[in-house]
């Protein structure tokens, strides 16, 4: 079979899925046409290798199927490699695509250029204007890691460190649990391959086979709960190899004592009466007890006596007639909401790089994004509403040479920044570098820019500076100095 035929066979179902998904989630016919146009653009471009085309479409599939974003995010995923192909990519793309797509592509490209996990603060600031930037980057990273074995070892190590210290905590923070588990497995696989493969061999069934068994496992339970007229939702997950290893480390137990390779969370409908709420939880517990065999020493009652942080739930470990084990949590909707809020409130105490970053408001902002992602709200939001979800409305955040965060109004220039950090020293300003590149003094700043300023021994202000700043503060200082200077020379 020729490579071209293989490529068509790979792309055809992806194309059909994405077209159907966009048609279902958008009210605008133009979005479907823009998607088709983007697909045609990369598949007919001789600068694109077959593997690059596959990667672009695989990225778009993750954006649609696993993160569930809208059409502009999907189009950005398809075109995210365009800056690597053409220096004038902005000029080419702006003819056919709106500014939202260009902003996402530019943002993804900017994160790629930062790359080093030690520049975490800079990476976080690069997407506070539009969360879709980092979500598309996460999708691109995951698509890449799924074909990671082809990369040389030295390059692998750098990419895995970036994944571990940036994208693993980010996906955890944003509630992208399935992606987070997969990234965690990749980190363990390449950083500690002996541990990874030892556990993998002990897992007789693959993850997708365990997921299938878990679905069969919950069938009798769902049937019984419905028969007893209990309104509920069930969240299911099978533990990743990395999470199994974390449990073995935390508890100091051998693999054979890890019974909860699968987990269920039963969330019961809200009850105004707290007594009725707890009775419904115990009723559910008894139904489970009638269906499965319970491991007594693994039952935890945090209904009668909640944890010190207020956490309430029933936890139990059960096994069915086919010797399939699972951990089950029983909560009401109220208890689940409190637990989730508690998880977010305790984020700053977690021992990872992101929790230590001091950017005002960023953790509360990520809570809001997490809610939208968990409830599949992104695909139905229009671009302008998504723009309003930015961390700082009508503002940007940049970094000085000491990595201090400086907040400025949108459309601020380099000169605005200089007058903001030190209005007196600004009068001696000569030039600057942004992200290690020399720029003009009227350069418009973007979120996450790192600025290194240089100054001379003499005043350098002139009349042209008035038109090169947007902030009233800078204009007033420049005007005052020019008037003072003029009066001195009369």
Q: Domain containing 10: what range?
A: 3-155
- For 332, phi and psi rounded to 5 degrees? -85, 170
Indicate if 340 and 403 belong to the same structural domain: no
Residues 42, 380: Cα–Cα separation, whole Å: 26
Cβ-proximal residues to 436 (8 Å cutoff; 6+ apart), any chain: 450, 452
Counting the structural domains of the chain, the total is 3
Evaluate whether residue 362 is within a structural domain: no
327: closest CA among 339, 315, 313, 345? 315
295 within a domain of the structure (yes/no) = yes
Q: Is 151 within the bounds of a domain? A: yes
Round to whole Å and give the CA distance between 77 and 101: 9
Q: Which of these three, 279, 314, 345, is where a domain ends?
A: 345
CA angle 216, 176, 301 (to 5 degrees): 60
Instruction: Examine residue 189 and state whether it is found in any structural domain, yes or no.
Output: no
Task: Check whether residue 317 and residue 411 sit in a common domain.
Answer: no
Same domain, 149 and 243: no
pLDDT at 343: 52
- C-beta atoms surrounding 383 within 10 Å: 17
| 450-455: strand order across its sheet | 405-409, 395-400, 450-455, 429-434, 437-439
Q: Do 217 and 142 belong to one domain?
A: no
Distance of alpha carbon 380 from the chain centroid: 18
The first and second tokens of residue 34, run together, are 């823009």
pLDDT for the residue 489: 60
Domain with residue 292: its CATH number is 3.30.460.10
Question: Is 358 part of any domain?
Answer: no
- Do the domain assignments include residue 150? yes
Query: Could you tell me how many residues make up the chain?
Result: 490
What H or E segment, with its residue span, contains residue 342? helix 333-345
Q: Where are the beta strands (DSSP E) in 296-421?
A: 300-301, 314-319, 325-332, 395-400, 405-409
Residue with tokens 């030690």: 118
Instruction: Report the pLDDT value the prediction gives residue 281, as an integer from 0 to 100.
Output: 94
What is the Cα–Cα distance from 136 to 353, expressed in whole angstroms? Answer: 21
pLDDT for 346? 46
- pLDDT for position 307: 85
Q: Pick the closest to residue 30 from 114, 101, 97, 115 (CA basis).
A: 97
Residue 303: partners with Cβ closer than 8 Å, 6 or more residues away: 278, 281, 282, 312, 313, 314
Same domain? 21 vs 148: yes
- Here the tokens at position 374 are 């968990």
Residues 12 and 90 in one domain: yes
Question: CA 370 to CA 364: how far, in whole Å?
Answer: 10
On whether both 335 and 478 belong to a single domain, the answer is: no
Interatomic CA distance for residues 296 and 280, integer angstroms: 21
Bridge pairing between strands 429-434 and 450-455: antiparallel
Residue with tokens 């230590």: 356
CA distance 57 to 244: 32
Distance between first and last Cα of the chain:
86
The encoded tokens of residue 426 equal: 């600004």
C-alpha 385 chain-centroid distance = 18
Per-residue pLDDT of the chain (490 residues; tens, 9 = 90+): 455 556 666 678 888 999 999 988 887 788 899 999 999 989 888 888 888 899 999 999 999 999 988 899 999 999 998 888 888 888 888 888 888 889 899 888 888 877 665 677 777 777 777 888 889 999 999 999 998 776 666 677 888 888 888 888 888 888 888 899 899 999 999 999 999 999 888 887 677 787 888 888 899 999 999 999 999 999 888 888 998 898 888 888 888 777 778 889 999 987 788 889 999 999 999 999 999 999 888 899 999 988 887 889 999 999 988 888 889 999 998 888 777 665 544 444 454 566 666 676 777 777 777 777 776 666 666 555 665 666 666 778 888 888 888 888 888 899 999 888 888 888 888 999 988 889 888 888 888 888 999 998 888 888 888 888 888 888 888 888 888 777 766 5
In this structure, is residue 269 part of a structural domain?
Answer: yes
> Are residues 306 and 422 both part of a single domain?
no
What are residue 433's phi and psi, to 5 degrees? Answer: -115, 135
pLDDT at position 347 is 45
Residue 345, pLDDT score: 45
Distance from C-alpha of 52 to C-alpha of 174, rounded to nearest angstrom: 28
| Same structural domain, 12 and 142 | yes
Q: Is residue 160 part of a domain?
A: no
Would you state the pLDDT for residue 370? 79
CATH number at residue 134: 1.10.3210.10
Count the neighbouring beta carbons within 10 Å of the beta carbon of residue 417: 26
Q: Does 232 share its domain with 305?
A: yes
The reported pLDDT for the residue numbered 349 is 42
Residues 416 and 408: beta-carbon distance below 8 Å: yes
Between CA 149 and CA 159, with CA 154 as vertex, the angle to 5 degrees is: 70
339 and 426 co-located in one domain:
no
Torsions phi, psi of 326, nearest 5? Answer: -155, 150
Residues 11 and 114 in one domain: yes
CA dist 487 and 481 (Å) reads 10
- Give the CATH number, domain containing residue 454: 3.10.20.30
């Amino acid at each position: 079979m020729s490579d071209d035929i293989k490529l068509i066979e790979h792309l055809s179902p992806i194309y059909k899925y994405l077209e159907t998904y966009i048609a279902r989630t958008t009210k605008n016919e133009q979005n479907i046409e823009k998607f088709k146009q983007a697909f045609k653009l990369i598949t007919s471009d001789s600068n694109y290798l077959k593997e690059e085309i596959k990667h672009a479409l695989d990225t778009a599939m993750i954006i649609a199927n696993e993160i569930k974003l809208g059409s502009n995010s999907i189009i950005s995923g398809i075109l995210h490699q365009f800056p690597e192909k053409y220096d004038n990519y902005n000029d080419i793309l702006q003819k056919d695509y709106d500014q939202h797509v260009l902003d996402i592509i530019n943002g993804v490209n900017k994160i790629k250029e930062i790359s080093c996990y030690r520049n975490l603060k800079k990476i976080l600031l690069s997407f506070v204007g539009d969360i879709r930037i980092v979500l598309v980057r996460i999708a691109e990273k995951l698509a890449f890691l799924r074909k990671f074995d082809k990369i040389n070892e030295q390059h692998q190590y750098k990419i895995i460190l970036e994944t571990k210290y940036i994208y693993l905590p980010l996906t955890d923070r944003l509630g992208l649990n399935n992606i987070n588990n997969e990234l965690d497995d990749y980190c363990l696989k390449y950083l500690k391959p002996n541990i990874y493969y030892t556990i993998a061999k002990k897992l007789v069934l693959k993850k997708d086979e365990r997921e299938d068994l878990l679905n069969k496992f919950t069938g009798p339970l769902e049937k019984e709960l419905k028969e007893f007229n209990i309104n509920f939702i069930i969240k299911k997950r099978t533990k990743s190899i990395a999470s199994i290893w974390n449990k073995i480390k935390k508890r100091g137990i051998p693999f054979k004592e890890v019974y909860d390779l699968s987990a269920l969370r039963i969330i019961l409908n809200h009850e105004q009466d707290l007594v009725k709420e707890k009775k419904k939880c115990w009723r559910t517990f008894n139904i489970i007890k009638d269906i499965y065999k319970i491991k007594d020493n693994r039952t935890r009652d945090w209904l009668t006596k909640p944890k010190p942080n207020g956490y309430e739930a029933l936890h139990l470990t059960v096994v069915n007639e086919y010797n399939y084990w699972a951990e089950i949590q029983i909560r009401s909707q109220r208890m689940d909401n409190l637990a989730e809020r508690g998880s977010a409130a305790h984020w700053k105490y977690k021992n990872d790089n992101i929790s230590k970053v001091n950017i005002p408001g960023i953790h509360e902002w990520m809570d809001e994004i997490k809610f939208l992602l968990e409830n599949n709200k992104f695909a139905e939001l229009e671009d302008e509403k998504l723009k309003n979800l930015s961390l700082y409305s009508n503002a940007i955040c940049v970094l000085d040479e000491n990595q201090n965060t400086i907040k400025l109004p949108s459309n601020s220039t380099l000169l605005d920044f200089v007058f903001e950090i030190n209005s007196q020293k600004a009068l001696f300003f000569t030039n600057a570098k942004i992200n290690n590149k020399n720029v003009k003094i009227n350069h418009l700043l973007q979120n996450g820019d790192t600025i290194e300023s240089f100054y001379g021994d003499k005043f350098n202000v002139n009349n042209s500076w008035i038109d090169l700043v947007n902030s009233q503060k800078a204009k007033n200082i420049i005007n005052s100095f020019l008037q003072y200077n003029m009066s001195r020379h009369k």
